A = this chain, B = another copy of it.
Amino acid sequence: MDVLIAIKDNITVQEALEFIQSPACGGEVIFAGTIRNNTQQRPVTHLFYECYEPMAISEMQKIADQVKEKWAIQKLVMLHAIGDKYPGDVAVVIAVASAHRGIAFDACEYVIDILKETVPIWKKEFFADESAH
């Protein structure tokens, strides 16, 4: 399994797609998490993401190891953005390619679920009413 893991200021779906494209794989599943303009109906102006980078990379690698154990996946990409992010910006991209689509869906959803539970990245939301959370 080929793996691309990165945490940086700006990420795109396109770079994930480029990494996973392979004529040996028939099914590609991509999850993109973008900044919403509201949280529980409250207008959001922007978010700030910070991370404990070496541990975050290490936890992402552990998730990749689990994927490799569980499924016959050929390519896996995990990208996370940090810094100030505005509505519409891409915060996270998970991309999976495999010969068959069912496991690509399972693996992609697993990765984003576990990433949100274990990877030390934190977001702070800034609301239009000038409060922050």
Please list the residues of chain A having a beta carbon within 8 angstroms of any beta carbon in chain B.
13-14, 17, 21-38, 87-88, 99, 101-102, 104-105, 108-109, 112
A77 vs chain B, min Cβ distance (A): 13
Contact A28–B23 (Cβ < 8 Å): no
> A17 and B13: CB pair below 8 A?
yes
* A36 / chain B contacts, CB cutoff of 8 Å: 23-26, 99
Chain B residues with CB under 8 A of A105? 31, 105, 108-109
Q: Is A37 touching B14 in the complex (CB atoms < 8 A)?
A: no
In the assembled complex, 18 residue pairs joining A and B whose CB atoms fall closer than 8 Å, in A order, are A13-B13, A14-B14, A23-B35, A25-B34, A25-B36, A26-B34, A26-B35, A28-B31, A29-B108, A30-B30, A30-B32, A31-B104, A31-B105, A101-B109, A101-B112, A105-B105, A105-B108, A105-B109
